[in-house]
Amino acid sequence: MYIVLLGPPGAGKGTQAQRIASATKLVHISTGDMFRENVKNQTELGKLANEYMAKGELVPDEVTIKMLLERISRDDAKAGAMFDGFPRNVVQARALDEALKSNGTRVDHALLISVADAELIARLGGRWICRNCGKLYHERNDPPKTPGVCDACGGELYQREDDRPEVVRARLEKQKPPAALIDHYRAAGVLKEIDGERSLDDVTASLLEAIR
């Protein structure tokens, strides 16, 4: 089963993808995490991606699609995957469709998580992430037991560079899922919209129900 999670920055895609991947055993593929790993390791791809990420812009399609196609060619994505942050536009969606078609598969579910801007700003401003295992927290909504320390692995928590208020503003202006992308999946008959302004557990339950 192949699932794409759509939604604006801060909608909860990463949090829910971690939960759904764990419940379904699907591999979680996050293009944002892949770019951040490259930035951390100071690869050529990371240096290029960071020029765009720091401004709240999308990394160019040819770079992103190449990275994604390489990732899904690996064995752990042959039986299915949970995509988080990909695709962002119709060009990327078509590239994914083509790649899956050549394996005789397709996107089975496109789940759009909807959240209003005021809530997105509050979520991004309070987000903390484990440097070691990537688990996501929110200082008010989903805090760790000990501030600054990951419950799961004891790792140090940090805040993303692109969660600074001026970058968040740019991301919300430029990175909401475009209508054409939503229409692409609606036309394919696989789109479901989920109200993301509920508790973490309620959103997870709706997403799991949608893919049953």
Binding site for ligand AP5 (CB under 6 A): 7, 9-15, 31-32, 35, 52-53, 57-59, 64, 85-86, 88, 92, 123, 126-127, 136-138, 141-142, 162, 171, 175, 196, 199-200, 203
Identify whether 19 is a catalytic site residue: no
Residue with the CB atom nearest ligand AP5 in the bound state: 32
The answer to whether 36 is a known catalytic residue is no
Residue from 55, 160, 164, 186 carrying the catalytic annotation = 160
Q: How far is the CB of 113 from ligand AP5 (least distance, A)?
A: 7
Query: Which of 13, 19, 71, 123 is an active site residue?
Result: 13
Q: How far is the CB of 128 from ligand AP5 (least distance, A)?
A: 7
Lookup: tokens for 87:
């695709």
Least gap, CB of 43 to ligand AP5 (angstroms): 15
Nearer to ligand AP5, 9 or 104 (CB): 9
Q: Which is nearer to ligand AP5, 89 or 105 (CB)?
A: 89
Residue whose C-alpha is closest to residue 52's, from 136, 170, 145, 134: 170
- Give yes or no: 198 in active site: no
Phi, psi of 32 (to 5 degrees): -60, -45
Question: Of 20 and 196, which CB lies nearer to ligand AP5 in the complex structure?
Answer: 196
Contact yes or no for 125/140 (Cβ under 8 A):
no
Active site residue 160: yes
* Active site annotation includes 71: no
State which residue, 34 or 191, has the beta carbon closest to ligand AP5: 34
Q: Which residue is catalytic, options 19, 88, 123, 176?
A: 88
Considering 19, 71, 123, 127, which one is annotated as catalytic?
127
Give least dist CB 211 to ligand AP5, A. 18
In the complex, least distance from residue 102 CB atom to ligand AP5, rounded to whole angstroms? 20
C-alpha separations of 171 from 78, 113, 116, 196, 197 in Å: 32, 16, 14, 18, 19
Report, as residue numbers or ranges, the catalytic residues. Answer: 13, 88, 127, 160, 171
